[in-house]
Amino acid sequence: MTGSVQLVDTTLRDGEQAPGLAFSLQTRLTLAAALDQAGVAQLEIGCPAMGPQEVAGLKAIRKVCSRALVSTWNRIRATDVTASLETGAEVIHLCLPVTAAHLERKLKKTWAELAGDLTECLNLIQAQGARVSVGLEDVSRATPLELARAADLLQELAISWVRLSDTVGILTPGRVRSLVGFFVGRGFSVEFHGHNDLGLAAANTLTAALAGAARLDTTLGGVGERAGNCGLRRLVALAGAELELGVSLAQATELEELARPYYQARSAYVRGLLAAKAAGVESFFKIASIDSENKI
Amino acid sequence: MLLIDATLPALSAAGLSLDPALALKWAKALAALGVSRVKRPREPLVASDALYGLDGVFRGDYPSLFKKLRRLGPLEMVFGDERGWATALAASWLEEGGSGVVCSLVGVGGLPALEQLRLILHLSGRMLLPKLGRELQALGQLFEELSGRELDLFQPVLGRGLFAGEAGVHVDSWPKDPTLYEPFGPEMVGARRVLAIGRHSGQGALRLKCLQLGLSCPRASLPSLLRAVRAKAAELERSLTDAEFAELTQASSGGQASRGGQA
């Protein structure tokens, strides 16, 4: 294996979504600058839909990145995209759920409705001259028909950059090879986003590169929800000298050291939460659901 | 025989003196998970006729190699973890119809991780786990006793903190359908969901936390409460404890939030 692929670090977006973890704006600026200087090709810096204060913070983060491409994460909503465009990010990432479960139970939309929303978002992005990547959420549980439907839609809309998100971390290397192969074979530039629920995030991510992925998502220390994401240092170590990722093992180690104190605080916080005697949260799902439906 | 457990010899090889009663409990706990071949503490980690040293094949055409190896008949397969992909290779071996993988809990001794392979076999439908079971959790606890080592809070499959949730989109899915963002339910591994409130919470999560803590919070107060939560979490550089959240809830509702009621 020889060649190079680009790293997309999502510590400031998917990583910080890990329960218990929070960075101040100053810390986010420090981490972004360090990742940028180390040579990480792209930084996914956050979700502008969180509000005007977040947009202001993301603008500041954008400014400390002199080398890396900067991207933001968005739902397929015009309001999200408008907020993202305000940050000055070069890449607007749109998250497109592809499975029936996500469409019916989360978004409560049909595929045709979602395709219409996607077209509206694309028009906004193209008017501003930003680049777009589309992430296929829950792609690892998609049926062959759902995969083909998503590929057809993206090609129809002339979107060539696709992120394959193993949202619940259930892929194995064999399945990664066929999934990446399918999208590469259809002419897409593939980005792979792994989760570590089965302990395979790094191996799956490396497999994605072997199968032709052009970009690989990582976080510092593999931080993320549940068992986390693909760790930057772990991936660099696995890749060895044969695959150029733009960041050396020594740099990856230094970067992860920067984040370590925040992860320790996070662990202490979650330990406290587990030890607390609060009532089980499941008991309130029904009431919360009724509240949400009725806007109580 | 799909999996062969070598946790006990791996711990012995690390110099640990294993309590025989605990070792017996270990074998029984594994049998409950469908792992019938459990190596004894003094047994060699690797059988003399085992195939090992395959950890270098990951970058090559290992599916073809595996196909040839399967023709050799039943073997003990030992994928070393020198390069960090023992579990991935073992998963691929099993996925392609192989068996006889020597593994250990959390990969101790440089072997594939047993609990991860067990979940992979379950998810592939090849060897199902009970839907409601504490067997994996019991195994994790037993391992901690045997090894004197605490498992990582976010260890795949066994971590006690795996089912903490905070991000708006994920917590929002809990009442709708938790499987949207969970590969398996906490009940399968004897864990439980806990709700963190912090910088990435949404209004639905705040509402859920108020219900959980018996705090009343009018819907109209949620946007200002959310802003206050996010600011506080960024200041503390961690999420909020229940006490800190209750304090903010009181302040944002002008002191009207009270325990024991709903808005």
Cβ neighbours for B138, distance < 8 A, ≥ 6 positions apart: B29, B190
Report pLDDT for B71. 85
Q: Give me the pLDDT at residue B260, please.
A: 47
* Chain B nearest CA to A286, separation (Å): 7
Q: What is the pLDDT of residue B241?
A: 96
Average pLDDT over residues B17-28: 94
* Phi, psi of A261, deg, nearest 5: -60, -35
pLDDT at residue B175 greater than cutoff 70: yes
* pLDDT for residue A296 is more than 70: no
Q: Of the ranges A57-71, A186-200, A270-284, B202-216, which one carries the lowest mean pLDDT score?
A: A270-284
Residues from chain A that touch B64, judged by Cβ atoms under 8 A, are none
For residue B94, the one-letter residue type is L
Judging contacts by C-beta atoms under 8 Å, the chain A residues touching residue B162 are 226-227
Residue type, B18: L
Supply the pLDDT for residue A3: 64
**What are all long-range contacts of A276-281, with beta carbons under 8 Å and residues at least 24 apart?**
A276/B194, A276/B242, A278/B194, A278/B212, A278/B213, A278/B242, A279/B212, A280/B192, A280/B193, A281/B174, A281/B193, A281/B194, A281/B195, A281/B208, A281/B212
**Digit-coded pLDDT (tens) for B40-73:** 999 998 888 888 877 778 778 888 888 888 888 7
Asked if residue B252 has pLDDT above 60, the reply is yes
pLDDT digits (tens, 9 = 90+) for A26-76: 999 999 999 999 999 999 999 999 999 999 999 999 999 999 999 999 999
B150-163 confidence digits (pLDDT tens) = 999 999 999 999 99
Chain A closest-CA separation from residue B20 CA (Å) = 30
CA-based nearest residue in chain B for residue A279: B212
| pLDDT at site B129 | 87
Contact B196 A282 (CB under 8 A): no
Give the mutation candidate from B194, B206, B207 for the A interface (greatest A CB count, under 10 A): B194
Closest chain B residue to A28, measured at CA: B234
Chain B CB within 8 Å of residue A167 CB: yes
pTM of the complete model: 0.95
Q: Is the pLDDT of residue B134 over 90?
A: no
The arithmetic mean of pLDDT across residues B127-150, rounded, is 89
Q: How confident is the model at residue A241 (pLDDT cuts 50, 70, 90)?
A: confident
pLDDT score at B214: 92
Percent of chain B scoring above 70 in pLDDT: 96
Nearest-neighbour CA in chain B from A262: distance (Å): 7
Residue type, position B105, single letter? L
Mean pLDDT of chain A: 95
Residue of A nearest to B177 (CA): A105
Chain A residues near residue B194 by CB distance under 8 angstroms: 19, 270, 273-274, 276, 278, 281
Using 50, 70 and 90 to split pLDDT, how confident is the model at B261?
A: very low
Give residue-wise pLDDT tens across range B198-213: 999 999 999 999 999 9
DSSP state of A118: H
Determine the pLDDT at residue B255. 66
- Which pLDDT belongs to residue A292? 62
| Res B188: pLDDT | 87
Residues 200-219 of A with CB under 8 A from B: 200, 202-204, 206-207, 210
Give A265 to chain B, closest Cα distance, Å.
7
Query: In sequence order, what are the residues at sequence separation of 6 or more whose Cβ sits closer than 8 angstroms to the Cβ of residue B147?
Result: B11, B16, B108
Tell me if A289 and B162 make a contact (CB, 8 A cut-off): no
Q: Is the pLDDT of residue A254 over 80?
A: yes
The residue of chain B nearest to residue A176, with distances taken between CA atoms, is B92
Res A174 pLDDT > 90: yes
B235 contacts in chain A (CB < 8 Å): 24
Q: Measured between CB atoms, which of A19, A234, A295 is closest to B164?
A: A19
B106: left (phi over 0), alpha (psi -120 to 50) or beta: left
For A240, which residue in chain B has the nearest alpha carbon?
Answer: B83
A51 touching B, CB under 8 A?
A: yes
Q: Say how far apart CA A62 and CA A29 lie, in whole Å.
A: 9
Chain A nearest C-alpha distance from B111 (Å): 13
Q: Hey, which of A31-35, A242-246, B48-52, B218-222 has the most confident mean pLDDT?
A: A31-35
CATH class, range A3-262: alpha beta
| B15: pLDDT strictly greater than 70 | yes
- Retrieve residue A82's tokens: 């408008």
Q: What average pLDDT does this structure show over B131-147?
A: 89
Q: Decide if A288 touches B, using CB distance below 8 A.
A: yes
Nearest by CB: A279 against B95, B170, B212: B212
The tens digit of pLDDT for each residue in B65-114 reads 888 888 887 789 999 888 788 999 999 999 988 999 999 999 999 999 99
Cβ pair B170:A284 closer than 8 A: no
Q: In this predicted structure, what is the pLDDT of residue B190?
A: 84
Test the B interface: residue of A197, A234, A262 with most B CBs within 10 Å: A197
Higher pLDDT, A277 or A79: A79
Q: What is the pLDDT of residue A273?
A: 94
What pLDDT shows up at residue A18?
A: 98
- Between chains, do A19 and B87 touch, taking CB under 8 Å as contact? no
Contact A248, A287 (CB under 8 A): no
Strand A6-9 relative to strand B194-195, pairing:
unpaired
Is the predicted pLDDT of residue B263 greater than 50, yes or no? no
Q: Which residues contact A91 (CB under 8 A, 6 or more apart)?
A: A42, A69, A70, A71, A72, A130, A131, A132, A133
Q: Is the pLDDT of residue A289 over 80?
A: no
